[in-house]
A and B are shown apart, each in its own frame.
Chain A
Amino acid sequence: MADFFLLAVLTLDATLRVSTPLIFCAMAGIFSERSGIIDISLEGKMLMSAFVAAAIAAVTGSPWLALAGAVAAACAMALLHGFACITHKGNQVVSGVAINILASGLTAVLGNAWFQRGGQTPTLDASSRFMPITLPMADTLGQIPIIGTIYKHAISGHNGFVYLGFAVVPLTWWILFRTRFGLRLRAVGENPQAVDTAGLSVTALRYRAVLMCGVLTGLAGAYISIAQNAVFVRDMTAGQGYIALAAMIFGKWRPFHALGACLMFGLLDAVAIRLQGVHLPGIGEVPVQFIQALPYILTVVLLAGFIGKAVAPKAIGTPYVKER
Chain B
Amino acid sequence: MSDQTRTLPRWIDIGLIPLINVAMALVVSGVIILAIGENPIDAVVIMLHGALGYEEGVGYTLYYATNFIFTGLAVAMAFHAGLFNIGGEGQAYIGGLGVGLAMLGLDHVLPMGLLIPIAILMAAAGGALWALIPAYLQAYRGSHVVITTIMFNFIASALMVYLMVHVLIEPGQQSPESREFAANAQLPFIYQVLGWFGIPMAKSPANLSLVWALICCVGVWFYIWRTKWGYELRAVGFNERAAIYGGVRPARVIILTMCLSGALAGFVGLNEIMGVQHKLLLDFTAGYGFTGIAVSLMGRNHPLGIILASLLFGVLYQGGADLAFDVPNITREMVVAIQGLIILFSGALAYMSTPWITRLYFRLHDGATPSDPPKPAHEEA
Contacts and interface: CB of A to CB of B under 8 A. Distances in A.
Interface string B26-42: 00000010001100000
Contacts of B133: 300
B158 A97 contact: no
A207 to B, nearest CB: 16
5 contacts: A90-B351, A104-B333, A109-B333, A112-B331, A289-B161
A106 B330 contact: no
A40 interface: yes
Interface stretch (B140-148, B194-202, B300-308, B358-366): B140-148
Interface in A134-187: none
Contacts of B165: 289
Interface stretch (B217-225, B228-236, B336-344): B336-344
A290 B147 contact: no
Contacts of B151: 242, 246, 296-297, 299-300
Contacts of B142: 305
A232 to B, nearest CB: 14
A100 B289 CA distance: 14
B68 to A, nearest CB: 14
B154 A93 contact: no
B97 interface: no
Nearest to B340: A102
Interface of B: 32, 36-37, 84, 86, 133-134, 137, 141-144, 146-148, 150-152, 154-155, 158-159, 161-162, 165-166, 290, 293-294, 297, 328-331, 333-341, 343-344, 347-352
A278 to B, nearest CB: 15
Contacts of B134: 300
A307 interface: no
A292 interface: yes
A94 B351 CA distance: 13
Contacts of A102: 337, 340-341, 344
A21 to B, nearest CB: 17
A99 interface: yes
Given A287-B166, A289-B159, A91 B347 contact: yes
Interface in A83-119: 83-85, 88-95, 97-106, 108-110, 112-114, 116, 118-119
A293 interface: yes
Given A105-B337, A300-B134, 15 more contacts: A84-B344, A90-B348, A91-B84, A94-B84, A95-B347, A98-B348, A102-B341, A105-B335, A113-B37, A287-B162, A293-B159, A300-B151, A303-B137, A303-B144, A305-B143
A88 B148 contact: no
A91 B348 contact: yes
B340 A98 contact: yes
Nearest to A87: B352
B344 A112 contact: no
B82 to A, nearest CB: 11
A109 B143 contact: no
A88 B290 CA distance: 23
A249 interface: yes
A304 interface: yes
Task: Give the dominant DSSP class at B's interface.
Answer: helix
Contacts of B330: 109, 113
Size class of the A contact interface (CB-based, 8 Å): 35 or more
Contacts of B143: 300, 303-305
Contacts of A312: 144
A308 interface: no
B331 A101 contact: no
A32 to B, nearest CB: 15
B2 to A, nearest CB: 14
Contact of B337 (A85, A109, A299): A109
A239 interface: yes
B86 A119 contact: no
3 tightest Cβ-Cβ pairs between the two chains A and B: A102-B340, A105-B337, A105-B336
Given A290-B162, A300-B148, A304-B137, A239 B154 contact: yes
A105 B341 CA distance: 10
A10 B12 CA distance: 63
Q: Which of B150, B152, B341 has the most CB of A within 10 A?
A: B150
A19 to B, nearest CB: 18
A304 B141 contact: yes
B293 A88 contact: no
A304 B134 CA distance: 9
B161 A94 contact: no
A90 B340 contact: no
A249 B147 contact: yes
A289 B158 contact: yes
Contact of A292 (B37, B146, B158, B344): B158
B150 A242 contact: yes
